[in-house]
C-alpha cells in the first residue's frame, strides 16, 4: 500500500478484513478501538489518498488495487442501500428482476425503508435509487439473500406483487406492472392464498379492488380468490393506477379504470 505508513497499512488492512461490502465510521471505530471522530478523520484521509472511495457521509468502499481512480461505481447497489437505509428491503421492479418476473432492465434500484430519506431519487456514484417510506408493520414477506458476504432483504415474489398492486409505479407503471403480475400468475412462484394473506396484513383496500379486477380479466378461473377479493371490498372508489386518468368506473370493483384497460 504505497503512500501509507506501516501503522496506517496495518489499520487499513484490519478494517478491510473486518468489514463486508462497505465501511462505516462506526464499524471501523469498533475494529480499530478508536473514538468515532478520530476514525472519521482517518477514513477521510485514506479516501484522499485514494485507498477508499466516499459513498456518503460516514460510508466508504474500498478501491481495487488495479483501479486508476478512486471515483469508482458501486460494486453492489443493494449492499450500499442496506448499509445506508436499514431497516429496508429491495422491492418493486428491482425485486421483480431478481425473481425473473420481468425481462425488462431497470437502471434505478427501488428501496423501501422505514427511514425518511431527504432525497427520494438520489444518484449515488452513478447508480440511481428510488426510495419509498413504509411503516414498521409493513416489513414482512421478505427474503434475505446473499450479496457477496452480505445478507440483504428483498421482497419475496408474492410481496413484490403486493407492493406493485399497492403502488403500480413500483412496477414501472400500469402496463409493466400488469405484465409482471401475469408472469407471476403463470409461474411456480404463484401463491394467491399467500397474496390474500399479505394484502390483509398490509391493510390497503385498493389492493383487493385492483387484484379482483385483474384476476377477473386475466385469470377468470380463479373464482375462489376473485370472491375473496369481492368479500374484502372497502367503501369508496379507487383507481387502477393513480398516475393515469380514468373515466370508466367498474362499479362491481369500485375501481376507476382507463378506458383501454376496461375493455375485455
pLDDT in tens, 179-215: 999 999 999 999 999 999 999 999 999 999 999 999 9
Tell me the percentage of the chain whose pLDDT exceeds 70: 95
- Cβ-proximal residues to 197 (8 Å cutoff; 6+ apart), any chain: none
Ramachandran category for residue 172: left, alpha or beta (phi over 0 → left; psi -120 to 50 → alpha):
left
Q: Which three cell numbers stand for residue 6?
A: 506501516
pLDDT in tens, 20-30: 888 999 999 99
C-alpha span between 180 and 208 (Å, rounded) = 17
Please give the pLDDT value at position 264.
59
- What is the reported pTM? 0.88
- Cβ-proximal residues to 5 (8 Å cutoff; 6+ apart), any chain: none
Q: What is the CATH number of domain 6-62?
A: 1.10.10.10
- Say if residues 21 and 83 touch (Cβ distance below 8 Å): yes
Q: Where in the chain is the domain with CATH 1.10.10.10?
A: 6-62
- Say if residues 93 and 102 touch (Cβ distance below 8 Å): yes
Amino acid at each position: 500500500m504505497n503512500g501509507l505508513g506501516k501503522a496506517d497499512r496495518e489499520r487499513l488492512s484490519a478494517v478491510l478484513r473486518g468489514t463486508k461490502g462497505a465501511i462505516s465510521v462506526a464499524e471501523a471505530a469498533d475494529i480499530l478501538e478508536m473514538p468515532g471522530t478520530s476514525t472519521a478523520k482517518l477514513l477521510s484521509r485514506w479516501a484522499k489518498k485514494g485507498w477508499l472511495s466516499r459513498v456518503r457521509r460516514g460510508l466508504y468502499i474500498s478501491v481495487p488495487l488495479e483501479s486508476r481512480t478512486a471515483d469508482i461505481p458501486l460494486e453492489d447497489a443493494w449492499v450500499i442501500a442496506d448499509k445506508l437505509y436499514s431497516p429496508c428491503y429491495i422491492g418493486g421492479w428491482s425485486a421483480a428482476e431478481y425473481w425473473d418476473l420481468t425481462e425488462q432492465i431497470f437502471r434505478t434500484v427501488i428501496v423501501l425503508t422505514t427511514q425518511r430519506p431527504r432525497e427520494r431519487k438520489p444518484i449515488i456514484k452513478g447508480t440511481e435509487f428510488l426510495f419509498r417510506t413504509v411503516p414498521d408493520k409493513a416489513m414482512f414477506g421478505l427474503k434475505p439473500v446473499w450479496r457477496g458476504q452480505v445478507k440483504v432483504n428483498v421482497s419475496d415474489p408474492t410481496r413484490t406483487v403486493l407492493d406493485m398492486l399497492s403502488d403500480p409505479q413500483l412496477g414501472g407503471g400500469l402496463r409493466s406492472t400488469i405484465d409482471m403480475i401475469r408472469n407471476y400468475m403463470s409461474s411456480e412462484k404463484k401463491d394467491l392464498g399467500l397474496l390474500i394473506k399479505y394484502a390483509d396484513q398490509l391493510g390497503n383496500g385498493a389492493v383487493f379492488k385492483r387484484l379482483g379486477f385483474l384476476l377477473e380479466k386475466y385469470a377468470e378461473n380463479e373464482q375462489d380468490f376473485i370472491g375473496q377479493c369481492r368479500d374484502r371490498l372497502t367503501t369508496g372508489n379507487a383507481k387502477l393506477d393513480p398516475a393515469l386518468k380514468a373515466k370508466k368506473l367498474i362499479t362491481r370493483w369500485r375501481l376507476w379504470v382507463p378506458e383501454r384497460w376496461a375493455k375485455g
